[in-house]
Each structure stands twice: as C-alpha cells, then as structure tokens.
Amino acid sequence: MSTVNQKHRTGDLARFGGAKTFEFVRGTPNLVRPDIEQFLTYSREFFEARRYTNGGPLVRKLEARLARLHGVKYCVAFSNAFWAIVTTIKSLALDGRTELVMPSLTYRRLADIVSWTGLTPHFCEINSKTLAMDPEFAIKAINEQTALLLAPHPIVNNCDVAGMEALSKETGIPLVFDSVESAMESYRGRMIGGFGRAECFSMHSSKLLNGFEGGYVTTDDAELAEQLSYVRGFGFANEDKVVALGLNAKLNEVHAAMAHAAIDDLPDQIERNRGRYHLYRSLLENIPEIRLLEFDENEQRCFKTIVVELLDTWPLSRRETIDLLHAEGALVRPYYSPPQHLKKMAYSTICEDLRETERLAERFLLLPCGEHVSEEDIREVVGLLVFMKAHAAEIRTEFKGGAL
C-alpha cells in the first residue's frame, strides 16, 4: 500500500493527475472509538433504569469522575462546550460592562460563542512562543468596560496560566479558561481544570474525549456550580421551582455512556497518540524546513494533535502545500486560519494591533492525526513532504503554468 514510493515525477502527484495516496481521507479530528461493548454496558444501565436525561445516573457519575480527574470540587456537564462557555461567561461577567477580552487566533468559532452572551469580543495580540493569550498583551485590551477575560489554551502546550491569574487578580476581572485543547493535561504539575474562576471543556467526537457531543465546566466555586446546573436545565432548582432564566443545554445519558467508555480508554489513547507523535517527530527530523511543535513532556500531555510550522526555508507556499496534500487525500488544516478578526462577523468586535496574529496565522499546519491515522499513513504523509521538497522547483512551475 506504500504509494509514495511509487511517485517518481512531479506528474505523479495527485494534484497533477497522478494516483491519490489515500483512497479514504486522513484528517485531523480525533474520532476515538472506545470499546463498543463498554459503551453498551454503560448504556444498559440508564436504559434499564429508564432514566434517559435530566441528571440521570450516568451523567451524575460522569461529573463525579471528571471532577476527580481534574482535581476539582465540581463538574457540571453540558450538551456541548458552546453552551458551557456561554453559561459560564453569563454567570461570571461583571455587571453593566460590555466587553470580553480574548485572542483572535484561536478556535475559529469562539467569538460566535461569546456573541451569544451579548458581550463584544475585544481581540488581543498573542504571544508568539505559546501562540496564546498572555498578560502582556491582554492588559492592552482591558478598559473600564471589560467584563471578563477568556483565555483559550493553544493546541500544543498551555497559555501562561499563572500570568493570566495574576492579571485577573490585579484587575479584579474574572478569568475563564477555554481548556478544550488542554483537557487532561497539567500545568506546573497540577491538572488543568482548577485554574481561574472556571474552565470549559468539550466532548465533541473530534476532541480528546468522545461523547459524540458534550461539554463540561470545572470549578471549585460551589455557588457557580449550582448556578450553572440550574441554568442548563430551564432554571429548575427542583420539580417546580424555577430560580434562574434557564436554557436547555443538558447532557443526556447516552452521551454520558460514550464519555465513560472514552475515559476508560484514555490511558491507552494517550499511549497511541504518543506513538504517533514520536513517529512524526523522528521522521520530520529529515526535513529541517519544517518545525514540529513539541509537547512539553515534563507535564502530563495527551499528544492528540500534530502541529508544524513551515519555516521560511520551506520551498512551497502554505497554500500550495495544502493543495498538494489535499489532492492526495491528506486533509491537513491551516492552524486557526484565517484568524477570527479577518472574517465577516454578524456582530461587532474590537481589535488591538494584531500584526503578530496575522503573521503567525500564515505559518502553521495541522498534519493528519487521530485514531484513524496509522503508522503507515504517517510515513506516507512525511514521504509526501520529502517528495514535495525534492521536486519543489518543478512543482512551482506546474502551479504557475496554469495547472491551477
């Protein structure tokens, strides 16, 4: 099945008429598949109890389990991270203020999520080392209208958690982390989940824990946890008593069953991810023009996503590189690109100087990763990159010659 070895000339690339490397696409969503028997065993529990949703036994156990894993007192499960984030921001934002500080180079729909809170996203510049929000730049976006700081972790490693916490303390502005990309990782030896006022996570099938869809909030704040649990379920405190303006964003039992099975598999998943990451790392050593973003293995890491930087010495543009790989069936993705402030929005936003964001947004690429990507596939992907480098001059001529 090794097709890279069958490419000899530029014309053998699928983009220029050759055979595709991958018949079925290899992408970047995680799509882990926990043991189906495990999933069915959990599912029987709620099915036999006829408790399908509204805080059934599996959701309750899941919340306790996640709180334990994150080392926090409370976990509140949601139908997805979207409503987990909206509800958390609504509960913590300072009254009467109108803006929320966040980076532009992050999850591409995060500003949309924020817009549902009624606050205006105020984009700050990012740190070029961590690719994330940090206090030095966040402070420039803070003013008398700032209601909340929303700090998303980058895909590889973490943002400056301690720095952001200090900034929050200094300014009195509440800090919430979007920790979707740092789930089950640690910061200075302590599990992510207990920092800031609250942290939000996703269990969408593309993320670390596959609950089909799902999300949750972790916090040590009892009052916040109680408020969140009311709001996610129509505002009900009990059978008949409504204590808050609610919405319906509950996690149901079948999703919780899947999430339990995914947690059972997590240690094995991390080992499989580590294997793929180490293979990429050793193969990419042969291509000095491409820099792999390395995980800090002094901390707990999950190795889910492979991010590389195309250095200035890489002979093709990122657009050309993506085109060639997509044609081969390798669905590589530009890293959070274009950044959110360059997109058309249905709401208004405020921008600081984002030159560094715009420069960085052009340099990074996610390579195929996740459960459906085998060692052989990784060899193929890196083999393609080696081939592209060797034939770069000819490839550029082909692109210029109207082959586009």
Ligand X SMILES: *Cc1c(COP(=O)(O)O)cnc(C)c1O
Q: How far apart are CA 55 and CA 57, in angstroms?
A: 7
Closer residue to ligand X (CB): 203 or 388:
203
Tell which one of 152, 154, 329, 368 touches ligand X (CB under 6 A): 152
- In contact, 121 and 115? CB cutoff 8 Å: yes
Q: Which stretch binds ligand X (CB under 6 A): 33-41, 78-86, 117-125, 250-258?
A: 78-86
229 binds ligand X (CB under 6 A): no
Closer residue to ligand X (CB): 176 or 283:
176
Q: 115 is written with which tokens?
A: 């817009």
The minimum distance between CB 80 and ligand X, in angstroms, equals 4
The minimum distance between CB 344 and ligand X, in angstroms, equals 20
Helix (H/G/I), strand (E/B), else coil: 399: helix
Q: Which of 128, 171, 130 is nearest to 152 (CA)?
A: 130
The minimum distance between CB 156 and ligand X, in angstroms, equals 13
Binding residues for ligand X restricted to 307-346, rule: CB under 6 A: none
The minimum distance between CB 107 and ligand X, in angstroms, equals 3
Q: Which of 252, 306, 238 is nearest to 274 (CA)?
A: 306
The minimum distance between CB 205 and ligand X, in angstroms, equals 9
Q: 340 is written with which tokens?
A: 């959110």
Tell which one of 117, 127, 202, 218 touches ligand X (CB under 6 A): 202
| 350-351 and 120-124 beta bridge pairing | parallel
Closer residue to ligand X (CB): 135 or 215:
215
Q: 342 is written with which tokens?
A: 């360059």
Closer residue to ligand X (CB): 195 or 387:
195
196 binds ligand X (CB under 6 A): no
The minimum distance between CB 116 and ligand X, in angstroms, equals 11
Can the peptide bond before residue 288 be classed as cis, meaning omega within 30 degrees of 0?
Answer: no
**Amino acid identity of 23?**
E
How far is it between the farthest Cα atoms of the chain?
72
Radius of gyration of the chain (CA): 22
29 binds ligand X (CB under 6 A): no
Q: How far apart are CA 193 and CA 208, in angstroms?
A: 15
Q: How far apart are CA 69 and CA 149, in angstroms?
A: 25
366 binds ligand X (CB under 6 A): no
Binding mask 79-118 for ligand X (x = CB under 6 A): -xxx------------------------x--x--------
178 binds ligand X (CB under 6 A): yes
Tell which one of 99, 181, 185, 265 touches ligand X (CB under 6 A): 181
Q: How far apart are CA 333 and CA 28, in angstroms?
A: 7
- In contact, 81 and 200? CB cutoff 8 Å: yes
Closer residue to ligand X (CB): 103 or 135:
103
Tell which one of 121, 215, 233, 339 touches ligand X (CB under 6 A): 215
The minimum distance between CB 79 and ligand X, in angstroms, equals 8
First to last CA, the chain: 28
Residues in contact with ligand X, total (CB under 6 A)?
A: 12
Helix (H/G/I), strand (E/B), else coil: 350: strand
The minimum distance between CB 388 and ligand X, in angstroms, equals 29
Residues forming contacts to ligand X in the complex (CB under 6 A) are: 80-82, 107, 110, 152, 178, 180-181, 202, 204, 215
